[in-house]
Amino acid sequence: MTADLRIAWILTRGSDRREWWRISLTALGALLATGFALAAITVAAVSGQVSVPFAHGLLNQPGQRVGVVVTLLLLLVPVLGLLGQCARIGAVHRDRRMAGLRLAGASPWQVRRICALESAFTCLAGSAGGAVVFAAILSGHGHTPPPRAWTAYVMVVLVVPVLAALVSVVALRRVIASPLGRVRRARPDRDRRGRPVALPVTVALIVVPACLAALRGSRQGAVSVPLLVFAVVILTGAGAVWLAGATASFMGRRLTARAKSPAVLIAAGRLADDPWAAARTHAALLLVTVVGVGFVGVRDVLLDVLHGRAGSLGEGLAFYTTGIDLTGAAVLVALAIGLLAVAVGTAESVAGRRRGLAAQVAAGVPRAVLDRALLLETALPLAPSVLLAGVGGMAVHLGYAALVAPGHVPSALPLLVPVAVYAACLLAAATSLPLLRRTAHPAELRFT
């Protein structure tokens, strides 16, 4: 283990300029994870009823602070997904180093462990930077947390790199470094058969208990709305993720046999080769889309109800609107992280196929065709998944309106969210086009 740590440190220090953006994204992800965790600890460290001069009294009551803490912790999920994507693309970019380690006698598992430790070193720098920024913000506002909070702060700075290393190990579990300098992913047929079954079973284990608890509450006269919303969001999000993989597989097979456009044929071949790549890349984003559509609809209903009862509210109107705005800000942050993960995942796809792309360019395929094929790989499987995510979010919107404000006229504004997310995904994928033009160069064929 000591030797692996030393090698990982040497490789991290020896990273060239072409890897600065991967290291920067990894450090940024660690900084965000540290910031969210430290903010959650700071809010949770406040005890009893207090008077906080922020957020119009939203943090004064213990019950309200619990909701803020849960929201901050949920933001860690897309951040960890981003760190996993960065670990995968990092392994692909360093395949020659990995091949050298294999030639020196390292096992595939040892190589993956060294790559995970490299991510841990970068994340340690990012988490330390996040802690410094957070401490500066606290001191600037004159807030001094209790001693137990400082202990938790130190634990967060140390735990975030450990979590990043674990996420990297999971993300790299199918990456195999060859001594001949080639990185590939082994996808046994049994895994392809098991994925369509494993996902619904996992979702059922989460959704069924939530539905049973909600139904039990309805027998007692009080339907558990949060549990029902949670069940709908998880079920729709998982269905959208499964639909992305299923659509990619179906379109890959059909378009390979029938398409005549070169760009469509190239994209279809990629989708048929790895249909679940889209599901892995878009999983967090599709779940955020369901939440975003539902939130925009629920926000419209809540604002309508609050303005109608402005004279009989226990707190000022700003108290409620601040909570709604903070929730919307959390959704936007999660959406931005999800889009960043899509951009990184697309770049990982380009980097992993750079020799194949170089061979296509050498054979005379125009670069414009490769550009269109890259965008089609994102556009084709994502369209039905985003549509399903929008349907699930609208179900949350309409259900909440029926329970809280039966006379409320549903707004069409939530329908714009899937369109905006789809366009943003295509723009995120388009950020890899410059990388594609640099990568798809016949000079890459020298290393095959």
| Bridge partner residues of 184 (DSSP) | 176
In a 3-state reduction of DSSP, which class is residue 176? strand
Closest CA to 171 of 372, 362, 396, 344: 344
Percentage of the chain lying above the pLDDT 70 cut: 77
Q: What residues contact 264, with CB distance under 8 A and at least 6 apart?
A: 255, 373, 376
Q: Give me the pLDDT at residue 334, please.
A: 87
Q: Return d(Cα 355, Cα 99) in angstroms, integer.
A: 16
The percent helix, strand, coil of the chain (3-state, each to 5) is 80, 0, 15
Amino acid code (one letter) for 392: G
In a 3-state reduction of DSSP, which class is residue 405? coil
Q: Assign 423 a pLDDT band (cuts: 50, 70, 90).
A: very high
Q: Note the pTM of the prediction, 2 decimals.
A: 0.76
Q: Assign 56 a pLDDT band (cuts: 50, 70, 90).
A: low
Q: What residues contact 312, with CB distance under 8 A and at least 6 apart?
A: none
**More confidently predicted of 178 and 181:** 178
The torsion angle over the Cα atoms of residues 381, 383, 385 and 390, rounded to 10 degrees, is: 170
Q: Give me the pLDDT at residue 425, please.
A: 92
Q: Which of 186-200, 313-327, 350-364 has the highest mean pLDDT?
A: 350-364
Q: Give me the pLDDT at residue 191, please.
A: 43
Average pLDDT (237-256) is 82
Q: Give me the pLDDT at residue 187, please.
A: 47
pLDDT digits (tens, 9 = 90+) for 383-406: 998 998 888 888 888 888 887 778
Q: Give me the pLDDT at residue 214, please.
A: 46
Q: Return d(Cα 395, Cα 425) in angstroms, integer.
A: 23
In a 3-state reduction of DSSP, which class is residue 243? helix
Q: Is it the case that residue 145 has pLDDT exceeding 70?
A: yes
Residue 115 near residue 98 (C-beta atoms within 8 A): yes
Q: What residues contact 339, with CB distance under 8 A and at least 6 apart?
A: 285, 424, 425, 428
Q: Give me the pLDDT at residue 192, please.
A: 46
Query: What stretches of 297-385 adopt beta strand conformation (E)?
Result: none
Q: Return d(Cα 288, Cα 342) in angstroms, integer.
A: 13
Work out the number of other CB atoms within 10 angstroms of the CB of residue 210: 19
Q: Is it the case that residue 248 has pLDDT exceeding 80?
A: yes
Q: Give me the pLDDT at residue 276, please.
A: 78
**More confidently predicted of 178 and 87:** 87
Q: Give me the pLDDT at residue 218, please.
A: 46
Q: Assign 315 a pLDDT band (cuts: 50, 70, 90).
A: low
pLDDT digits (tens, 9 = 90+) for 14-55: 666 666 777 888 888 889 889 889 988 888 887 776 666 666
Report CA 403 to chain centroid distance, whole Å: 31
Average pLDDT (258-280) is 83
Average pLDDT (119-140) is 86
Q: Give me the pLDDT at residue 416, please.
A: 92
Residue 440 near residue 357 (C-beta atoms within 8 A): yes
pLDDT digits (tens, 9 = 90+) for 194-244: 444 444 544 454 445 545 554 454 444 444 556 666 666 777 777 777 888
Q: Assign 252 a pLDDT band (cuts: 50, 70, 90).
A: confident
Q: Assign 93 a pLDDT band (cuts: 50, 70, 90).
A: low
Parallel, antiparallel, or unpaired: how do β-strands 175-177 and 183-185 relate? antiparallel
**More confidently predicted of 353 and 97:** 353
Work out the number of other CB atoms within 10 angstroms of the CB of residue 341: 27
Q: Assign 112 a pLDDT band (cuts: 50, 70, 90).
A: confident
Q: Is it the case that residue 367 has pLDDT exceeding 70?
A: yes
Q: Give me the pLDDT at residue 426, please.
A: 93
Percentage of the chain lying above the pLDDT 90 cut: 6
Work out the number of other CB atoms within 10 angstroms of the CB of residue 203: 19
Q: Is it the case that residue 446 has pLDDT exceeding 80?
A: no
Range of weakest confidence among 107-116, 159-168, 191-200: 191-200
Q: Is it the case that residue 3 has pLDDT exceeding 70?
A: yes
